[in-house]
């Protein structure tokens, strides 16, 4: 099973966004975002809830009327028929017909995309296979498990063989096993060269699936690049030390802040230029009368980058 993605579209970038602004009343949901997605790449939009990821995705799909800026999909304006034909959208909600079967749902969305009977039949079989729902094709959607619904939701967005797929938090509310299944489905698409935009607030998803990551907060892209670039640009060769102290109180918090650290999930995190600095840090804590319970050293990751740039955790 494969999703052919080349040969029919022009040489323009799959997605080009320039100075995009969207306001809802007094709230600026997207604040001057500029992005480009090279062909065949998977770009992760990483940010906490309310960062503006979904608004950005909905703008690309043409479901949001923007206040400023431009979006082009393979050179065509967003919301044009040409853009619609090349775009696949997998919304965060389970946008399916619950009283229709899996097959009937796919047939309906295929027809909405203008697929004729022969192409439609092929596309439905292909999508059912990709989502491993072939043996559940006659099951009503309302009777499916959460993970199956998620997979069908994804398959419905790919029924018309788009060249660019927008996935808006496709693993929301699924168990770890189903999430892994979904990752494998997406990896298959990526391996076949499909261009993908993937929004998530799970750092591990972005690290596993995305070639490029754009970190979004308060409607702005605050950093973008490959995982390695983002970490390197933010931390250089520095490492992170995470220490947990007994009886964390105001005195502990004050000491942590005085030594350049910040609280993370009940622990304290420090950035060090070299691992040998750990000894000095531990000595200072002992002198301050803090009882160390646990200490670990680790290389910074995307979550560290986000925390460093925004002062907040991804899932705040």
Partner 1 sequence: MISAIVRTALVSLRRDRGALALSFILPVVFFSIFAVIFGGRRDTTSKVHVLVVDEDHSRASGRLVQGLKQEGSLVVKTRPEPVKDAEQPEYTAATAEIAVKEGVGPIAIIIPHGFGENPISFGPADTNRPTIQLLEDSSDMVAPQMVSGLLQKVAMTSMPDLMADQGSKYLDQFAGGLTREQRDRLNEGIRQLRERQESGAITAASGSGSGGIIAFNARAVVGENKNNPMISFYAAAIGVMFLLFTASGAAGALLDEAESGTLDRVLSSRVTMTSLLLGKLTYNSLLAFSQLVVMFLWGWAVFKLDLWSHIPGFIVMGVCTAVAVASFGMLLASICRTRAQLGALSTLVILIMSSIGGSMFPRFLMPEAMQKAGLLTINAWAIDGFTKIFWRDEPVSHLWPQVLVLVGTAVVFFAIARRVARRWEFA
Q: Which residues are at the interface with partner 1 (CB under 8 A)? A: 24, 55, 58, 61-65, 81, 84-85, 87, 89, 91-97, 109, 112-114, 156-157, 160
DSSP label of 99: T
Q: How far is the CB of 29 from partner 1 (least distance, A)?
A: 9
The crossing angle, in degrees rounded to 10, of helices 117-130 and 146-157 is 140
Nearer to partner 1, 61 or 185 (CB): 61
Closest CA to 84 of 73, 95, 68, 70: 73
Q: Which is nearer to partner 1, 55 or 227 (CB)?
A: 55
How far, in Å, CA of 252 to CA of 225, rounded? 36
Closest CB to partner 1 among residues 96, 230: 96
Q: Based on CB atoms, which residue is closest to partner 1, 21 or 309?
A: 21
Phi, psi dihedrals of residue 55, rounded to the nearest 5°: -65, -40
Burial (CB < 10 A; 0-12, 13-18, 19+), residue 240, is buried
Contact 46, 216 (CB under 8 A): yes
Q: Least distance in Å: CB of 313 to partner 1?
A: 28
DSSP class of residue 108 equals H
Q: Residue 95 Cβ, how far from partner 1 at the closest point, in Å?
A: 4
Smaller CB distance to partner 1: residue 76 or 213?
A: 76
Least distance from partner 1 to the Cβ atom of residue 17, Å: 17
Which secondary-structure segment (H or E) carries 278? helix 277-287
Q: Are strands 262-264 and 267-272 parallel, antiparallel or unpaired?
A: antiparallel
Taking the complex as a whole, how short is the minimal distance between the CB of residue 79 and partner 1, in angstroms? 9
Distance CA 259, CA 40 (A): 44
CB of 108 to partner 1, least distance (A): 9
Q: Which is nearer to partner 1, 106 or 203 (CB)?
A: 106
């Amino acid at each position: 099973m494969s999703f052919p993605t080349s040969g029919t579209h022009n040489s323009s970038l799959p997605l080009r966004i320039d100075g995009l602004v969207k306001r809802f009343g007094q709230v600026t949901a997207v604040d001057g975002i500029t992005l480009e997605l090279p062909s065949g790449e998977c770009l992760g939009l990483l940010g906490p809830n309310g960062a503006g990821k979904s608004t950005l995705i909905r703008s690309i799909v043409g479901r949001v009327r923007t206040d400023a800026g431009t979006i082009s999909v393979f050179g065509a304006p967003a919301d044009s028929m040409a853009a619609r034909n090349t775009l696949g959208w997998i919304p965060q909600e389970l946008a399916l017909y619950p009283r229709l079967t899996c097959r009937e749902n796919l047939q309906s969305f295929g027809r909405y995309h203008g697929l004729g009977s022969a192409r439609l039949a092929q596309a439905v079989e292909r999508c059912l296979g990709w989502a491993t729902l072939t043996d559940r094709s006659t099951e009503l959607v309302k009777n499916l498990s959460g993970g199956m619904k998620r997979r069908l939701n994804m398959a419905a967005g790919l029924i018309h063989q788009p060249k660019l797929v927008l996935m808006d938090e496709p693993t929301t509310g699924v168990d770890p096993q189903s999430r892994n299944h979904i990752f494998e489905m997406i990896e298959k698409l990526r391996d076949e060269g499909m261009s993908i935009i993937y929004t998530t607030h799970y750092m591990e998803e972005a690290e596993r699936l995305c070639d490029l990551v754009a970190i979004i907060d308060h409607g702005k892209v605050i950093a973008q690049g490959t995982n390695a670039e983002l970490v390197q640009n933010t931390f250089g060769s520095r490492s992170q030390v995470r220490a947990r102290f007994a009886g964390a109180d105001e005195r502990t918090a004050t000491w942590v802040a005085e030594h350049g650290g910040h609280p993370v999930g009940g622990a304290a995190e420090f950035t060090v230029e070299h691992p040998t600095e750990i000894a000095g840090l531990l000595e200072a804590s002992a002198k301050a009368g803090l009882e160390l319970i646990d200490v670990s050293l680790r290389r910074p990751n995307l979550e560290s980058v986000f925390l460093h740039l925004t002062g907040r955790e991804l899932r705040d």
